[in-house]
Chain A
Amino acid sequence: MRRWGYRFVVTPMVESIDVLALGLNAEQQRRLFKFSDARGEVVALVGERTIPVARLVAGKLRSAALPLRLCYAGAVLSADEGRFHQRRETYQVGAELVGASGPVADAEVIALAARCLEAAGLRRYQVDVGHSEFFQGIMDAVRLPVAVKAGVRSALAARDFVALEELLARTPLRSAEHELLLRFPALRGGSEILEAAGGLVRNRRSEQALAELARVQELLVAHGLGAVVGLDLGAIRDFDYYTGVIFEGYGPDLGRPVAQGGRYDRLLERFGRPAPATGFVVQLDLVWELLARGGRAPLPRLDAAIAWTGSGHATAMRLASTLRLFGMRAVVDTESRREREARAWWRAVGAENLIQCPGTKTVAWTANSGRTRSLPPEQVAARLAGSPS
């Protein structure tokens, strides 16, 4: 993310509940771990980091020129046991682009999120892009009594399409907007879906959302992400929070999104510095789960395991420090071990190379391929340092 010009910021783990309440709904507030400090003020452990970043932008970074590109990483806490795990503490990496509006900024953040998933090691993933204004426009346009509209919103928020169907079936007026609402979970696809939806909506808010989405998709193709980006007009998210383009990243066969983000232009003004903003968060626990399922969970890789006997210890230590100078990871055995024991230890520590040092002159270098060569230590160091790792 730093390569994209995003500054790493660290925000506090503990925030005043009044600050967090500016950006969280009642249910989200309920899930916070809350306690009181020495003055009796109620504070909470952060459950997400967009709000602390917003406070930072409106506070300490008040005089910094917009747009600001910021990123963060850290633990967040939830007092509720998750539906899927007992973990109360999970890890998130995220980025926020504050002070820029429009499709170019939206596409930049989506592209960055996609590249983050790649950098994390996901080989297969997809990003679904939607727009919260598409739904808001439909809700404006659809002719329904106020009470029914409220029902429609809550049915959609609960993803209950049976209730939605019942509500809409009871109203005599049918319109294209009705059809769109009922087909919400299926409004997913490529650019053809924009045309299909464009033929059905007759309100400016939705039409503008579709135009913005078309532009964002073009830009994402230019970002080189055409193959992984899909459009999802039926994305159901917190409609009160998001104000524009929204997106979710999915890995293969994982029931939940690994990354989520979108535009939230109304948050910063609650902190006294009105500014458009967009950002995303990657759920590292879920990324790990995906990698572990593919058998590719990244364990720290060791370049060299260095075994020794007798006077070889001094050689081993010298060789290790040379390798470390070249940025390699080298472990020196804590006890003297010969051939067979040395090989067992090598496998146990899981290093790429085994180097056995029986004395000062030559060492035996065994690469992962299994081939063993006897060479002077300087030559082993030179070869390892010179080989692309």
Chain B
Amino acid sequence: MSVSIAVPTGMLLPGALRLLSHAGVMRLSAAELGRRLLVERSGVRVILVRPADVPAYVDHGAADLGIVGKDVLWESNGSHYELVDLHFGPCRLVLAVPEASKLNGPETWPPLMRVATKLPRTTAAWFEARGQAVEVVRLHGSVELAPQVGLVDGIVDLTASGRTLRENKLRVTATLGASTARLIGNQASLKTRTEAVQAMVARLREAANHGG
């Protein structure tokens, strides 16, 4: 029986395809997968979905395994197993404020902090754990813009190199967490088709640990 793997569009796609190729699972170009969305070859099915949808596909059992950034997992709590740190696609989740802002450590935070982000759950939980009242403004893109136009005091966003932040005259004051790509697995697939799924997990783990 075939094993299906959900891979995310966007930043992590090249790394995911490289991993599948290194593990000898499937050689696949981003262009081909992007055109067909679902490719099935010699007992393996690869499906291309939006990053935030990977956990849903896996939890549902529509895919046995999924490759997804830890940042997406922070925002979703499903029934999947988080199995392997695949090491590629590193980025940090940071709190950034305008360069001119006086905000630094927690002692400089206002009584009610206003923060814009694409990851509202993670952001709210982080501030809550520090006893800070926060108003989280959920945005879907161009988060860097929000403090410049006075919408918020700062932003919580993912950054790999920090370039976008610098270009928008923002500086990092705290790191909320570090993210890399993860391999997640469906609960029932691991139980009902243990051998095929575990063998695939082992291959991907091996490839990831050896410079995939």
Give me the interface of A with B, judged by CB distance under 8 Å.
83-84, 126, 128, 158-163, 165, 185-186, 188-189, 230, 232, 248, 250, 252-257
Contact = CB atoms under 8 A, between A and B. Distances in A.
B60 to A, nearest CB: 5
Interface in B49-74: 56, 58-62, 70
Given A128-B191, A257-B188, A160 B61 contact: no
Q: Which 4 A-B pairs have the closest CB atoms?
A: A255-B61, A159-B81, A160-B82, A162-B85
B191 A255 contact: no
A83 B61 contact: no
Contacts of B56: 83
B61 A185 contact: no
A255 B186 contact: yes
A256 B77 CA distance: 15
A84 B191 contact: no
B194 A161 contact: no
B187 A256 contact: yes
A185 B190 contact: yes
Nearest to A253: B61
Contact of A84 (B59, B83, B182): B59
B78 interface: yes
Interface of B: 56, 58-62, 70, 77-85, 182, 185-192, 194, 198
16 contacts: A83-B56, A126-B192, A128-B191, A159-B82, A162-B84, A165-B85, A186-B190, A188-B190, A230-B191, A232-B191, A250-B191, A254-B188, A255-B60, A255-B189, A256-B79, A257-B188
A363 B188 CA distance: 54
A251 B63 CA distance: 16
A83 B79 contact: yes
Contacts of A254: 61, 188
A257 B190 CA distance: 12
A83 B191 contact: no
Nearest to B57: A255
Given A185-B83, A188-B194, A257-B188, 8 more contacts: A83-B78, A126-B191, A160-B82, A161-B84, A162-B83, A185-B81, A186-B194, A250-B192
Contacts of B182: 162
A186 B79 contact: no
Nearest to A155: B82
Given A84-B60, A186-B198, A161 B82 contact: yes
A292 to B, nearest CB: 15
Residue from B78, B81, B84, B198 whose CB has the most chain A CB atoms within 10 Å: B81
A149 B80 CA distance: 22
